[in-house]
Amino acid sequence: MYLFGKITVTAVIPNELSKLKDIAFNLWWSWNSDAIDLYREIDLALWEKLGKNPVRFLKEVSQKKLEAKVNDPDYMQKYEDVVKKYESYMEETDTWFNRNFPDKKDHMVAYFSAEYGLNEVLPVYSGGLGVLSGDHCKSASDLGIPFTAIGLFYKQGYFSQHINGDGWQETIFTDLNTSNLPVKPTLDQDGNQLTIEVELPGRIVFARVWHVQIGRIKLYLMDTDHEHNSHHDRALTSRLYGGDQETRIQQEIFLGIGGSRVLDALGIKPTVFHMNEGHSSFLGLELIRKLVQNEKLPFNQAKEVIASSVVFTTHTPVPAGNDVFPLDMIDRYFSHYWPSLGVSRHEFLDLGLKIGDHQNFNMTVLALSLSGQKNGVSELHGAVSRNIFKNVWPGIPEKEIPIGHVTNGIHTLTWLSPTIKYLYDKHLDNDWQEKLYDRNTWDKVDDIPDEDLWKSHCVLKTKMIGFLREKIKEQRIANNESIEKVKEVDTLLDSNALTIGFARRFATYKRANLIFRDVARIQKILNNPQRPVQIIFAGKAHPADGPAHEIIKHINDISKQEGFHGKVILIENYNMTIARNLVQGVDIWLNNPRRPLEASGTSGQKVCINGIINFSVLDGWWCEGYNRKNGWAIGDETLYDNEYHQDNADSESIYNTLEKQIVPAFFERNDKGIPEKWVEIMKESIKSNTGLFSTHRMVQDYTNKYYITSMNRVEKQISSNFKYASELSNWKQHVEKEWPQVDIIPDKEVTQLNNKNFISGETIPIHATVKLGSLEPSNIKVQVYYGDIGNENAIENPHIVDMQLEEKISDNTYRYTAKITLYEGGEYGYTFRVIPSHPDLMSPFDLPLIRWAVQ
């Protein structure tokens, strides 16, 4: 073998096209199809070959082809139009945020997430959480939110998936070439790449800082591949969700504590910190530490200050989904740290201990302890979260636990097909993109001719099939299958068949193989020659999730069996490219998680905007999206104790709905070959869900419900020089100390209420006597709590009425009164309770104390 050297030749971009490089390094291009077209039209083959990566494309494109475009008037006009659009976007100040909150433009939201799914060219994401984070950033940019994002730079990404000839998933890690990515080093004041440091047991670990431009906002990423680190530490941030618990806690320390230090080094002073899932929970500790050390605040006062700033979003649908670390590990990593907070080991551990589990430090509990505002990611998930974490607020009724919800959405233009976008541009109002979160924007979808919508869908379906055939060929060649098997791919997938898509993480609760529970029945559905049906699967299993690997193997085996071959397709290496093709090209989207374990789910939202119909379990977002006219539901809202019975019921629902409703609706055509009923459902899917489940609506909800609330409180903190928080913290400590003295003595006459007759609508006086000890009546609320008597002899569907102070009976005893009116006949239960009350509490149970009337 002879020696050789490498010569790298990079095309020189003509001055006339210089903005191509600027746009390539701003992911704004990823949701603007006309910008993408600028690169495609220069050299389509190279664009596809390089994975639609504009940064790499500009390095490898032919100089002659660039120069040819300079001399192409039509191309140059498109170029000028896109540049004008880009510059106008970047310079725009009349944004939604500035119009609605002109006095808040000097604030900043810092958003922390372990992964970001922005585009396939930057694979630092694993699935839905990352894609949601990426879409959140894009909408924050579009809406003009003052917003900075923080994450980790995984130079090996998540992993590439190969499904071998036996049907088993194989995981492949490859190093990303940073020079080919839309990332740039973040420079310090001396022009050197910014470096931050974090203390880990026995050593200091350094991280370089990079940034990604996402429209108007920046995402900063930390990377420990630094020459001053050991070989082990250099690989610390190399893989997303890789390694053992040691790697996990170290990554999460960098995300939370290191992320805060990145902001400090850049001089960015956020007023709101949004923790997206519990991975970044150590952030709250670092924010408190800085106040304790720099402002000399006691821990409780510093914690009160930070609570005003921190918003926490949980995505966890099951208790086992929370990150937990054994206490001995917390000791090793934080024994040097808690003294800087001014707390003992016991006080530190209490922040992350869940009642009933005293062996593990729970990152979600830590986030709940430190954040003033918290939410789940759908209405149902908010309720599930209140149930999972009710022990954090002992004695508080589950419905009143202070975990709200903001239902997830998707960034519309990222997932919208240009083909469907053309129809929207033609038939909707000219400013539909600026008002895509407004439901009324989508009413004009009815103006799109059925034939145009259907033809556009068929074009996208044919395009998807061509794309998938190429992927399947690559799979078969990689598995050394015969030339006949490779050639067979050209006839796989029927563009006239009803095509079902199922693509998502292959976690077991998502039940990817549920549709094969009755093999004979689904085989019959798939093989009706007059009404053919086919199913496309895609998804990765976590490398350590053995049962999920078994599901992939099961589906692969079925796809090779007689009666399923060519009807069931399993695509390897699911990523955003494959997702985009599927959510734009299938006919119906199948989603059958085990209810209520789907926190939200967003893949079904991506299909709505493209006119594709959902067929889903009533879980996550679909509980809110389904209106009986815009798709189909699997099963009902029954909660099962037995998984076997649940699987039987849901699979039966799948078969019945396919046989009796979905398949007939798809194949029933008019004289033009248009499935009129199907297209009607397509239009309803677009109209009812596109605006409601956009991240524009979602980010507006976060802003209106949480960000502005935090900004207002921070303004009070700053203007009072922390006196606002100090007084509230001292008040809480006083109330908590005196709370054991609080007692309720129900009025003896009123306890005979159930033995008296009252007429419907009659006003009923109720009294209670309360002992407050050294607390003042202004510190508390006394409430009557009444409602239906449930099966377990408890009050259900309660009503809560504040009672009025009637008289002071003695030094610490007070009589309260209230009037209630009952309009429906029947028996009702009632009781009394006392809760703390202060005008500056972020929620009624910000201080989680309650006293009920007891015997």
Query: Among 241-245, 279-283, 302-306, 609-613, whose mean pLDDT is lowest?
Result: 241-245
CA nearest neighbour of 572 among 474, 642, 644: 474
Range with lowest mean pLDDT among 58-62, 213-217, 514-518, 750-754: 750-754
Region 332-338 average pLDDT? 97
Cβ contact 384:375 at 8 Å: no
- pLDDT for residue 756: 57
pLDDT per residue as tens digits for the range 784-834? 999 998 877 889 999 999 999 999 999 899 999 999 988 888 888 889 999
Stated pTM of the model? 0.96
pLDDT at 7 over 80: no
Pairwise CA distance, residues 689 & 439, whole Å: 8
Q: What is the pLDDT of residue 794?
A: 85
CB 199 within 8 A of CB 184: no
pLDDT at 10 > cutoff 80: no
| Per-residue pLDDT at 286 exceeds 60 | yes
Tokens of 98: 């500035």
Q: How confident is the model at residue 752 (pLDDT cuts 50, 70, 90)?
A: very low
Q: Are the C-beta atoms of residues 61 and 46 closer than 8 Å to each other?
A: yes
| Interaxial angle between packed helices 299-309 and 363-370, expressed in degrees from 0 to 180 and rounded to the nearest 10 | 90
Q: Please tell me the predicted confidence (pLDDT) of residue 753.
A: 42
Tell whether the model's pLDDT for residue 75 goes beyond 90.
yes
Please state whether 735 falls in left (phi above 0), alpha (psi between -120 and 50) or beta: alpha
Helices and strands, number each (H, E), in the chain: 32, 28
Q: Are strands 828-836 and 780-789 parallel, antiparallel or unpaired?
A: antiparallel
Position 751 scores a pLDDT of 46
| Cα 402 to the center of its chain, rounded Å | 19
User: What's the mean per-residue pLDDT of the chain?
Assistant: 95
Q: Given pLDDT bands bounded at 50, 70 and 90, which one contains residue 355?
A: confident
Cβ neighbourhood burial of 691 (10 Å; 0-12, 13-18, 19+): buried
Q: What is the mean pLDDT of residues 725-741?
A: 96
Q: What is the pLDDT of residue 357?
A: 86
Percent of the chain with pLDDT over 90: 89
pLDDT single digits (tens) 682-705? 999 999 999 999 999 999 999 999
Paired with 198 in beta bridges are: 205
User: Could you read off the pLDDT of 639-649 as tens digits, one per residue?
Assistant: 899 999 999 99
Q: Residues 553, 513: contact at Cβ < 8 Å?
A: no
Helix (H, G, I), strand (E, B) or coil at 782: strand
User: Residue 751, exposed/middle/buried by CB under 10 A (0-12, 13-18, 19+)?
Assistant: exposed
Report the share of the chain in percent with pLDDT over 70. 98
**CA-to-CA dists, residue 679 to 418, 685, 745, angstroms:** 19, 10, 64
Model confidence at 762, pLDDT cuts 50, 70, 90, reads: confident
Q: Dihedrals φ, ψ of 543, to 5°?
A: -50, -30
Q: Output the CA angle 465-618-658, nearest 5 degrees.
A: 50
Residue with token string 């539909």: 432
| 736 has pLDDT over 70 | yes
- Cβ(50)–Cβ(42) below 8 Å: no
* Residue 750 in this model has a pLDDT that exceeds 80: no
Q: Comparing C-alpha atoms, which of 23, 26, 5 is closest to residue 13?
A: 23
pLDDT at 755 over 90: no
Beta pairing, strands 613-617 & 588-591: parallel
Q: Quick check: 156 and 173 in contact, CB under 8 A?
A: yes
**Omega before 146 cis (within 30°)?**
no
Q: Going by DSSP bridges, is the β-strand pair 272-276/310-313 parallel, antiparallel, or unpaired?
A: parallel
Average pLDDT for residues 723-734, to the nearest whole number?
Answer: 95
Enter the tokens of residue 223. 């990377």
pLDDT, mean of residues 363-372:
97
For residues 238 and 221, give the distance between their C-alpha atoms in angstroms, rounded to a whole number: 12
> Over 90: is that where the pLDDT of 471 sits?
yes
Q: d(Cα 786, Cα 603) in Å, to the nearest integer?
A: 42
The pLDDT of residue 855 is 65
Residue 595's pLDDT band, with cuts at 50, 70 and 90, is very high
